[in-house]
Chain A
Amino acid sequence: MSGALKLLFPQSRGPLQAMMVNSAGGLTGGDRFRLDAEAEVGAALSLTTQAAERAYRAQPDECAEVSVRLSAGAGACLYWLPQETILFQACALRRRLRVDLADDAKLLLCEPLVFGRTAMGEKLTEGWFSDRVEIFRDRQRAFTDATRLVGDIAAQLAGPATGAGCRASALVVYVAPDAEHQRDALRAALPDDALAGASLIAQDVMVARFLGPDGFGLRRLLMPALDRLSANTLPRSWRL
């Protein structure tokens, strides 16, 4: 651990809580962040961030890079629950997240994204964001999400098949034997007008996607779902 990325370990019940703090205050062109974390056999680890991450305006031809590798051994339980990443006008960010799970390890992963400083009415008319979440189980590729936002991101997300007018989105992946039950509970708890859904892509793997009008609206949808999926051990920083 070195540079602007620090880890805090607040006292908590449930899994070991690790809170990532970016003391640089955000990401900008040329930044390189790398994190490796492992929950060993039978262990439980929950990772979050102290605050929302900000992808600032980058200089031309510069790009921030964030690379995270997580792994969970047999019987281990891993939560990856960072707070929102806010994409600022003219940001350039490349993120790669790889998760390696032993066959019976459990996972709860959530990656919330906010497109622009919505409270200020900022529109993302330029930017570059490449994101990939790759989950392997027993070394076999189990799920991959690849996001690509390029150029006039506001226009790209204006369509009914893309952002449908929403300014925030989150991917949730849940791997555990009760995934089917959790999918049903998640669906039943969604408000009627919510632009969100969940699906079981394997017997014990649930994928869900949430869209919200802004970061706040997204949280209102996400919090009850994450409370349920984490058995009420959602990191305290999410409540502030």
Chain B
Amino acid sequence: MTTGTGTITTTRTTIRMNTEPATEDVLKLAQWFSPGFPVGAFAWSHGLEAALAEGRVVRGSVEAWLEGVLEDGAGRADAALLAAAYGSEGDALTEVDALARALAPSAERLAETVDQGTAFARTVSALWPDRAVSPMAYPVAVGRAAALHGLPLELTATMYVQAVIGNLVAVATRAVPLGQTEAQAMLARLTKRCEAVAQEAIAGGLDNLGTASFAADVAAMRHEGLYSRVFRS
């Protein structure tokens, strides 16, 4: 009869709960989505400049306009694209990128997502060359980078959506114009919806992706013909 002895060595294990992301993950996402991260978001108004110039959006309705973009426009659609990219690689990832580009309703909106995504991919690839991301539409590049860095999907999508809306609040602050406190109060109210929009978009997947932001799309098209322009979309 043979006997054996076994040793159990306990090592320090980190258990990550979905509800409590690691601090290092939050800090990395905060860096990616800070206005200082060089994606050039400040240059794009997503059609808002045209809507303001034509008087279709005024100071009193700018928050409702942003809410439409968040709930029924690129906010929700981008969260679904980000989630699809997060779970894809190779040809499937290329297809998600092609879909993101094809969904752009105008030439400037296409440039808006591709330019920011290209700048984002360039920067994260320079900082972490072992986890390089190729140039893709902005939500697709972010989803891919988040997967490569092992970041939690829901938090990434929520913070991405908040960053997109936060940038448009900053655009409105300059273009309307709004007071700093007024603008931040607006962003605080809109932020309350970012998590739910991201969760619903992730749960719905690409098959349920869709928008109803017809007037914002028209504004983006009309921006191309605007006589005097500060923003690139």
Q: Which residues on A are within 8 Å of B, measured CB to CB?
A: 130-132, 134-135, 140-149, 156-157, 159-164, 166, 169, 187, 195-201, 207-209, 211
Contacts of A209 in B (CB 8 A): 105, 214, 217-218, 221
A42 vs chain B, min Cβ distance (A) = 27
Question: CA–CA, A196 to B218, complex, Å?
Answer: 6
Question: CA–CA, A147 to B211, complex, Å?
Answer: 5
A133 vs chain B, min Cβ distance (A) = 10
- Who on chain A is nearest to B48 by CB? A161
Contacts of A197 in B (CB 8 A): 106, 217-222
Contacts of A132 in B (CB 8 A): 210
Which residues B58-114 have CB closer than 8 A to chain A? 61, 64-69, 72-73, 77, 95, 98-99, 101-108, 110
The reply to whether A161 and B73 form a contact with Cβ atoms under 8 Å apart is yes
Question: CA–CA, A201 to B112, complex, Å?
Answer: 12
9 closest A-B pairs by beta carbon, nearest first, are: A148-B210, A197-B221, A161-B68, A199-B106, A164-B215, A159-B68, A161-B216, A144-B102, A146-B210
Which interface class (under 10, 10 to 19, 20 to 34, 35 or more) fits B?
35 or more
- Who on chain B is nearest to A163 by CB? B214
Q: Tell me if A's interface is mostly helix, strand, loop or mixed.
A: strand
Question: CA–CA, A198 to B225, complex, Å?
Answer: 10
B163 within 8 A of A: no
B188 within 8 A of A: no
- Who on chain B is nearest to A184 by CB? B225
A225 vs chain B, min Cβ distance (A) = 13
The reply to whether A201 and B106 form a contact with Cβ atoms under 8 Å apart is yes
Contact of B64 among A144, A156, A159, A198 (CB under 8 A): A159
Question: CA–CA, A140 to B61, complex, Å?
Answer: 39
B51 within 8 A of A: yes
Can you list 21 A-B pairs, Cβ within 8 angstroms, ordered by A?
A130-B208, A132-B210, A141-B101, A144-B99, A144-B102, A146-B210, A148-B208, A148-B211, A160-B68, A161-B66, A161-B68, A162-B214, A163-B212, A166-B215, A197-B106, A199-B105, A199-B106, A199-B224, A208-B221, A209-B105, A209-B221
Question: CA–CA, A203 to B225, complex, Å?
Answer: 17
Contact of B103 among A131, A146, A211 (CB under 8 A): A146
The reply to whether A162 and B215 form a contact with Cβ atoms under 8 Å apart is yes
Q: Tell me if B's interface is mostly helix, strand, loop or mixed.
A: helix
The reply to whether B108 and A199 form a contact with Cβ atoms under 8 Å apart is yes
Question: CA–CA, A109 to B22, complex, Å?
Answer: 49
Contacts of B72 in A (CB 8 A): 148, 156, 159, 161-162
Contacts of A135 in B (CB 8 A): 102
B184 within 8 A of A: no
Which residues B189-222 have CB closer than 8 A to chain A? 208-222
Question: CA–CA, A121 to B16, complex, Å?
Answer: 54
The reply to whether B77 and A146 form a contact with Cβ atoms under 8 Å apart is yes
- Who on chain B is nearest to A169 by CB? B214
B26 within 8 A of A: no
The reply to whether B209 and A211 form a contact with Cβ atoms under 8 Å apart is no
B57 within 8 A of A: yes
A-B contacts besides A146-B103, A162-B73, A207-B221, 9 pairs, CB < 8 Å? A146-B77, A159-B68, A161-B65, A161-B68, A197-B220, A199-B220, A199-B224, A201-B107, A209-B218
